[in-house]
Amino acid sequence: MNSCDKIFSSIEKAARYTGGEFNSPEIKYGKNTVSFCFCFPDMYEVAMSNLGLKILYSVINNNPDTVCERCFTPSDEFAAALKNAGERLFSIETKRRLTDFDMLGFSFQYELSYSNFLYMLDLAGIPFYARERGEDYPLVIGGGPCMINPEPISDFLDLCVIGDGEYTAPALIELYKKHKKNGGKKAVFLAEAAKIEGVYVPSLPARKVKKAMVKNLDEAPFPEKFLIPNIEIVHDRAVLELFRGCTRGCRFCQAGFIYRPLRARSVDTLEKQALKIIETSGYEEMSLSSLSTGDFEGLRELASRLRPHAEKLNFTVSLPSLRMDSFDPEMTENSRKNSLTFAPEAGTQRLRNVINKNIIEENITATLTDAFGRGYDNVKLYFMLGLPTETMDDVSGIVALADKIKSLYRQITAGKGRPLRLGVSASVFIPKPHTPFQWAAQIDMEEARKRQNYLREELRRRKVNFSYHDADSSEIEAILARGDRRLSAALVKAYEKGAKMDGWTERFRYGAYIDALNECGIDKTDYLREYEPTEKLAWDFVDIGVSKEYLKNEYKKALAAETTADCRQSCNGCGIEDCNQKL
Amino acid sequence: MIILKYSKSGDAKYIPHVDTLRVLLRTLRRMKIKVEYSAGFNPHMLINMSPPLPVGIESETEFLEIQTAAEAEGFSELFGKNCPKGFSALKIWQTEKSPKITANTTAAQYSAETSAFDGIALSSEEPKLYALSAQKGKLIFTIACGNNNLRPDRFLESLAQKYNIALNTREIKITRTKLFTGTRENLIQIDNTII
């Protein structure tokens, strides 16, 4: 029994680490092969649900002379078995040590995954700080949405890819191929790489970095085959990406701003991709994914084209990310009436105007009237607590809304059928970089808990299911989101104190972070307070296309509860050049 | 209906039973053969698996009963093209009558790669044990399987304990080699019950 088998046979869910999934590419190492390991700082079940991984894995493996393998955050059990065997963290496909790769690409989807990043480096035997790594260590590259403010982890990364990765990653690899052949030094490579659009090299003197953006999604690489996991994962279905970006301009939403401008795929392309994926995957369900699926102009057309295929090949189509002002119940007519999920985000119209979530009460009533009439009896609503200008009136507005919905249900079903299952979820607002609210303060944790408790009492009394996270993790997320390089030392300390798997509620250690910040002499309120409009922000050097002036103006409007219309109606001048405005 | 006999080996041994079912379902979907579905609100494929194989145990004798009008011809190749690593089609039967493998299996033969028991005069009073022998690095035993189940690794552990042998069963390659129906006195291999 080899050392891998010894490790696998001693742990639970070993299938996370063994590979061999259907559609696994043939991995061949030649003399000049550039080896890339896609590292996702979370467990297999979460990592394999990520679309970015699917795309880059396919793109890099299809490239001759390059190989892409995977490595994810292992369980504590696995890590212990690894240590016992005297081994270092290795990849899934060929069980190759991370230190033997040319490049490690870490995908940062959420800030609380930073501790897992350090955990993986630690298990791999790789020094945390880029300055401590000599020529023999792989290049440690960061990608994913968090890279629009990479500063808390910039000191750990050799290079960051900001924005879309479809072309930037291959460009980096091509450059590296040349560089490897000529036997160049890391610093020379990094200086060259910095010239590629979207690439940020933290060790070089500060300069503005423009995010990479794929203009035409129809032409952009998209995998024909996905790796099909052998075990159950979080999002165990085929994913079709309808469009990137969003025109709504909700002021709290980072994704809506950093992925501008809107770029959609054509219905023709989507139909082709959908068929290919279902045929080569055997998936039973396909999700039409985007930031606001109901806004896709070709949605009806696509749905009607997919319907006959869905019947023949026996799969269902699911539509996540629906809005209450563009929900068309006919889209979900043929599927089972599961639950409907919407995100009003705020309980009163005033606050919805502040955050520019342009859902009016008529939308809510109309959508639910239609849905209840069709037999839906399970609704989940998402809200945030601690939004800028929020008062208790707004919080009790959530309860009032729940009451209205319950009586609407009673009215429509006239007492027949099952009782309504209404769920409310409230998360704590986190001010995010590159949004109009990037200057806003985060609510005090005590106050957040007060409001959570209030909601819990009022909703439970009404037999409405209320779910929420402990506010503490939101505070740490806020600190990391608007963080700067001072935080790298604190991150290392927090990890050393046991911070790990922070995205998992039962594992999150608030104390580790607070102690680390204290020991580093960092006042956490520096990152939680309101910022002046004239202050320099750590992420100002990243150009996402939307101007800082526009964001400032949006924040002003927010404080006056003035709304901004969907830019499909008319251009609001956010600063994006090369904008199509078409879906 | 089609009866498929397949092997599960290598790292596929770490895929638990419930996940193996999903693997097989998706393989069948990729094969694009017409499998019958159950009626009602939540239709599922009409298939049946042989009794669960514990995680970590390999097998040369897994069965899948599939309610389908598909032909046996070409089935093995199609399965091989659409299954993940570690699975392999061994034999196909086309039959009208279900051998009810899930319900009828009573025993399984296992082979454990270990020389720890070589030369020992083995015997066991274990009521769920039907046959036992050790030959040159292999321990072969037939134990209860199915409704009245005995796990091969647990059996191995208790046997090692009985003979005072230090053994880490996790580090031993155990393979399920035969499936039986019938009684202790008259065990019949499942393969031979399929018409």
pLDDT of residue A301: 93
Give yes or no for A283 touching B (CB within 8 A): yes
Give yes or no for A27 touching B (CB within 8 A): no
A15, A21, A282 ranked by CB distance to B27: nearest: A282
Backbone phi and psi for residue B37, each to the nearest 5 degrees, phi listed first:
-115, 155
Cα A104 to Cα A34: distance, rounded to the nearest angstrom? 11
Half-sphere exposure of A562 (CA within 13 A, CB side): 8
| Partners of residue A228 on adjacent β-strands | A22
DSSP B11-61: GGGGS-HHHHHHHHHHHHHHHT--B-B--SSS--B-EEEPSPPPTT-EEEE
Backbone phi and psi for residue A44, each to the nearest 5 degrees, phi listed first:
-50, -45
A1, A231, A283 ranked by CB distance to B15: nearest: A231
Span A141-160, average pLDDT: 98
pLDDT at A583 over 50: no
pLDDT of residue B84: 97
Structure-model confidence comparison of residues B35 and A184, the more confident one = B35
Residue A360 — very low, low, confident or very high, per pLDDT cuts 50/70/90? very high
Cβ pair A24:B84 closer than 8 A: yes
Contacts of B170 in chain A (CB under 8 A): 9-10
pLDDT of residue A273: 95
Residue B135 — very low, low, confident or very high, per pLDDT cuts 50/70/90? confident
Residue A582 — very low, low, confident or very high, per pLDDT cuts 50/70/90? very low
Span A225-234, average pLDDT: 95
Cβ pair A18:B171 closer than 8 A: no
Cβ pair A231:B19 closer than 8 A: yes
Contacts of B37 in chain A (CB under 8 A): 314
Cβ pair B29:A18 closer than 8 A: no
Beta-carbon count within 10 A of A382 CB:
15
Q: Which residue of B has its CA nearest to A231?
A: B19
Cβ pair A230:B12 closer than 8 A: yes
Span A555-561, average pLDDT: 98
Pick from B24, B4, B177: which is nearest to B91 by CA?
Answer: B4
Cβ pair A230:B19 closer than 8 A: yes
pLDDT at A509 over 50: yes
Q: Which residue of B has its CA nearest to A230?
A: B23
pLDDT of residue B119: 83
- Of A18-27, A207-216, A285-294, A492-501, the poorest mean pLDDT is in A285-294
Cβ pair A9:B22 closer than 8 A: no
Given the DSSP bridges, would you call strands A34-40 and A103-107 parallel, antiparallel or unpaired? parallel
For chain A, give the percent of residues with pLDDT over 70: 98
B149-174 confidence digits (pLDDT tens): 999 999 999 999 999 999 999 889 99
Half-sphere exposure of A569 (CA within 13 A, CB side): 6
How far A514 CA sits from the closest chain B CA (Å)?
40
Contacts of B30 in chain A (CB under 8 A): 22, 279-282
Largest CA distance in chain B: 59
Cα B163 to Cα B165: distance, rounded to the nearest angstrom? 6
Cβ pair B15:A9 closer than 8 A: no
Span B125-140, average pLDDT: 90
Cβ pair A15:B19 closer than 8 A: yes
Backbone phi and psi for residue B182, each to the nearest 5 degrees, phi listed first:
100, -170
Cβ pair B84:A284 closer than 8 A: no
pLDDT of residue A337: 64
Cβ pair A9:B86 closer than 8 A: no
Residue A522 — very low, low, confident or very high, per pLDDT cuts 50/70/90? very high
DSSP B94-123: E-SS---HHHHEEEEEEEEE--TTTT----
Residue pairs spanning A and B at CB distance below 8 A: 72
pLDDT of residue B14: 97
Cα→Cα distances A133→A155, A172, A496, Å: 11, 20, 19
Cα A456 to Cα A114: distance, rounded to the nearest angstrom? 31
| Calculated CA dihedral for residues A436, A439, A445, A449, nearest 10 degrees | -30
Span A399-415, average pLDDT: 94
**Contact between residue B106 and residue B148 where contact means Cβ atoms under 8 Å apart:** yes
Q: What is the ipTM, given to two decimal places?
A: 0.94
Cα→Cα distances A22→A63, A227, A323, B67, B79, Å: 20, 6, 35, 24, 12
Span A366-390, average pLDDT: 93
Cα A249 to Cα A564: distance, rounded to the nearest angstrom? 7
A379-398 confidence digits (pLDDT tens): 999 999 999 999 999 999 99
Q: In A93-185, which ranges are continuous DSSP H helix?
A: 114-124, 151-154, 168-181
**Token pair of B167 as six digits:** 């053994």
SS3 A293: helix
> Average model confidence (pLDDT) for chain A?
94
pLDDT at A335 over 90: no
Report A:224-253 residues touching B (Cβ under 8 A). Answer: 228, 230-232
**CA-based torsion, B143, B148, B151, B154: positive or negative:** negative
pLDDT at A139 over 70: yes
Provide the 8-state DSSP code for A571.
-
> Angle at CA B43, nearest 5°, toward B37 and B44?
65
Contacts of A21 in chain B (CB under 8 A): 84-85
Residue B126 — very low, low, confident or very high, per pLDDT cuts 50/70/90? confident
Span A5-10, average pLDDT: 92
pLDDT at A47 over 50: yes
Cα A480 to Cα A483: distance, rounded to the nearest angstrom? 5
Pick from A95, A171, A172: which is nearest to A139 by CA?
Answer: A172
B19, B41, B56 ranked by CB distance to A9: nearest: B56
B12, B26, B32 ranked by CB distance to A20: nearest: B12
Cβ pair B29:A19 closer than 8 A: no
User: What single letter denotes the amino acid at residue B159?
Assistant: L
pLDDT at A218 over 60: yes
Cβ pair B85:A20 closer than 8 A: yes
Cα A108 to Cα A40: distance, rounded to the nearest angstrom? 7
SS3 A203: coil
Cβ pair B11:A8 closer than 8 A: yes
**Contact between residue A237 and residue A284 where contact means Cβ atoms under 8 Å apart:** yes
Which of B8, B9, B11 has the highest number of chain A CBs within 10 A, making it the mutation to test binding with A?
B11
Contacts of B28 in chain A (CB under 8 A): 282
B26, B86, B170 ranked by CB distance to A20: nearest: B86
Pick from A293, A341, A340, A338: which is nearest to A319 by CA?
Answer: A293
Cβ pair B27:A24 closer than 8 A: no
In A331-415, the DSSP E strands lie at 340-345, 378-385
Structure-model confidence comparison of residues A342 and A320, the more confident one = A342
Which of A3, A9, A26, A277 has the highest number of chain B CBs within 10 A, making it the mutation to test binding with B?
A9
Span A172-177, average pLDDT: 95
**Contact between residue B6 and residue B179 where contact means Cβ atoms under 8 Å apart:** no
Cα A299 to Cα A286: distance, rounded to the nearest angstrom? 14
Q: Which residue of A has its CA nearest to B35?
A: A314
Cβ pair A9:B170 closer than 8 A: yes
